[in-house]
Amino acid sequence: MIPVAQERKPISDELTRPPELPELREFKRAREGDVEAQRAIFERHAPRLRAIAWHALGEGAADDVVQEIFIALFAGTKDPGFRGEARLSTWLHRLVVNRCFDVHRRARRLVPLVAAEGRATDDSLEWTVRGQREAQVQRALAELPLDQRLAVLLRHFEGLSYDEIAAALGCSPGTVASRLSRGHAALARALAHLEPS
Amino acid sequence: MSPRHPESHVLDELDAFVSGALDTASSARVGEHLLSCRECRAEADAVSRGQSLVAELPLPPLPSDAWPRLERALAARAPALVARRRRVWRVALLAAGLAVLALLGLTRQALREGRPLEILAGAPRLDGRSLWSAGTTRLAVGRWLETPDGARARISFGPLGHVDVEPGSRVRIVASSPMEQRLDLRHGSLSAIVIAPPRLFIVDTPAVRAVDLGCAYRISVDKHGEGSLSVTSGRVALMREGREIVVPAGASCAIFPWGAGVPVFDDAAPPLRAAVDQALAGDVTLLPGSLPRARVRDGLTLVHLIERVEGETRRQVRDRLAELVPPPGDAFDAALLPDTRALDAWRRAVDGAR
């Protein structure tokens, strides 16, 4: 059965697209302070990057990570080094992964995923209060080792191939396959009680 | 009895196997192992259930203050530099824009007043008010144009071209500047003839954005955002979430509420067209039998379709595409993952072969 692309599933078919020049051009405009270009890039990429960081690190840390990434991207004194030889999204994947590992190494305390109990601290948490099941999936995901969690998140939210996940995580495609196998299986075992008996 | 040697287990390959991402030989090997290994079978089932559970995770919306926060932070970090760069850029843009406007014979007053709007038939409505007079009026930015009861109208963009608004449509101009002419087609049909630099002329629909690359085309959407794009000359890019589908002349592409379908040439064999339509709706039954009807130029359809199907069907589409257009590099195996870089390269090869 074909998985007809649903609203939340990234459209991964990047077709015979024009040269990278438009994306690089937009990026350069953003670096030069063009607010419209900055906003366009931000709105295009931030939702999925934040979702990855959210599930990897927790609520508060995710917003900080996303802000830091885009501040460095648009206004950092150090040239980000993006030249259009790869897609900007590929580049951003590496950035969010690196930042997640940095934050995790500093052992910042994860914000407990208690939104299902109704702690709507900002307008974006409303989506998490819709159903205990969803909250349980989020909790189980948060229990995975960070490297497995990131592999699962990159696969789910960005629809990346094994090669692309490997590039983002700095490991081999075989390691990605192993992490995805173990991560998905661990989630299923942790959430076995959700399956119909 | 299950094998006892750990190295013969296939635990680390199960995600790829369940996803249909393994090559033929590996998939066969893993499948054969699963027939006799209860442990790996149970793990495969767990992997499959885990994938389904993760698929339930929705994409949370950005907080409403996310962009304002970032914008403030950017402005605070380098206000002088940002301001200077903006001034330089805006002066250059203004100079270029004024030159373009002068070339087009347009003035700022004319832009404020909107684009010339010619009534072709019936009584179009402007913000709900019927236009009964024949002749030309103007469509200002933000004002809704509707064409009920057989009405038709033409929006002129000067030397850049024009857009004919067909009966049953609701459309407005959302941007009209030297860098961008953008329409919002809420529902209905437009026929556009655009002679403009690429990516200057854009039509937004509820589901996708059509970006002109220098062309003539017709785009239709109903009130649910479902419709189609047909290109008669040039190319149009359908965009959503930063991804593009380029539709060339002589091809059409379905538009769904969730995004775009795949480009299909209008002269493709009817069985192939029907099979692709059905496949996009979730039924691949007709697809394998229709693949022999694909020509070299239909490789454009197949190379897009690879990512829309799974398992054995993906393999069959890939194999037929390989018969029509040799895959570059490692695209033959990588297409099954699917590896988007490999597919991009194959698409370029398909373009070269058409």
Residues 6+ apart with CB under 8 A from B31: B17
Give residue B180's Cα distance to chain centre. Answer: 19
Report CB contact under 8 Å: B310, A123. no
> pLDDT for A30-60, tens place per residue?
888 888 889 989 988 999 899 899 888 877 7
Average pLDDT, rounded, for chain A: 75
Query: ipTM value of the model?
Result: 0.74
Can you state the angle between helices A162-169 and A173-190, rounded to 10 degrees? 100
d(CA B205, CA B293): 33
Look at phi and psi of residue B150 and say left if phi exceeds 0, alpha if psi is from -120 to 50, else beta: left
Which pLDDT does position B262 carry in this prediction? 93
d(CA B320, CA B291): 7
**How many other β-carbons are positioned within 10 Å of the β-carbon of residue B313?**
21
For A52, the closest chain B residue by CA position comes to B59
Which pLDDT does position B78 carry in this prediction? 56
Q: Chain B: nearest CA to A69, how far in angstroms? A: 10
Find out whether the peptide bond into B338 is cis, omega within 30 degrees of 0.
Answer: yes
Characterize the bridge pairing of strands B161-165 and B201-204.
unpaired
From chain B, pick out residues whose CB is under 8 angstroms from the CB of A16: 246, 300, 344, 347-348, 350-351
From chain A, pick out residues whose CB is under 8 angstroms from the CB of B304: 13, 15
Of B56, B59, B341, the CB nearest to A47: B59
Lowest-confidence pick of A5-19, A64-78, A123-137, B159-173: A5-19
Q: Which of A76, A70, A68, A90 is CA-nearest to residue A23?
A: A90
d(CA B113, CA A26): 30
Instruction: Work out the angle at residue B229's Cα, subtended by the Cα atoms of residues B225 and B232, and round it to the nearest 5 degrees.
Output: 165
Residues 6+ apart with CB under 8 A from A79: none
Report CB contact under 8 Å: B13, A180. no
Which pLDDT does position A46 carry in this prediction? 92
Q: What residues 121-150 of chain A have any CB closer than 8 A to a CB of chain B? A: 122-124, 127-128, 133-134, 137-138, 140-141
**How many other β-carbons are positioned within 10 Å of the β-carbon of residue B165?**
26
Which phi and psi (to 5°) does residue B306 adopt? -50, -40
d(CA B78, CA B47): 48
Contact B298, B324 (CB under 8 A): yes
Positive or negative torsion for Cα B248, B254, B260, B264: negative
HSE-up (13 A, CA, CB side) for residue B315: 10
Q: Token pair for residue B179?
A: 């860098």
Q: What is the mean pLDDT of residues A113-135?
A: 48
Q: Token pair for residue A160?
A: 């990346």
Q: pLDDT-based confidence at A149, cuts 50/70/90?
A: very high
Greatest Cα pair distance, chain B, in angstroms, is 87
Residues 6+ apart with CB under 8 A from A108: A57, A61
Contact B341, A163 (CB under 8 A): yes
Q: pLDDT-based confidence at A85, cuts 50/70/90?
A: low
Characterize the bridge pairing of strands B209-221 and B201-204.
antiparallel
CB pairs under 8 A between A and B: 236
Task: Print pLDDT tens along chain B (354 aa).
Answer: 334 444 478 899 999 988 888 888 888 888 888 888 889 999 999 999 999 889 888 777 788 888 988 988 888 775 544 444 444 445 444 544 555 554 444 455 555 568 889 999 889 998 888 887 656 788 988 899 999 989 999 998 877 788 999 999 999 998 887 777 889 999 999 998 877 666 778 898 888 888 877 678 899 998 878 899 999 888 888 887 656 788 998 999 999 887 889 999 999 999 999 999 999 888 899 999 999 999 999 999 999 999 888 889 999 999 999 999 998 888 888 888 877 778 888 888 888 776
Point out which residues pair with A124 in neighbouring strands: none
Positive or negative torsion for Cα B279, B280, B281, B282: positive
Report CB contact under 8 Å: B282, A4. yes
Which pLDDT does position B294 carry in this prediction? 95
Look at phi and psi of residue B124 and say left if phi exceeds 0, alpha if psi is from -120 to 50, else beta: beta
Of B70, B281, B308, the CB nearest to A42: B70
pTM across the whole model: 0.45
Q: Chain B: nearest CA to A124, how far in angstroms? A: 5
d(CA B299, CA B50): 35
Specify the higher pLDDT residue, A75 or B147: B147
Residue environment code for A168-193, b if the CB has 16+ CB neighbours within 10 A, otherwise e: bbeeebebbbbbbbbbbbbbbebbee
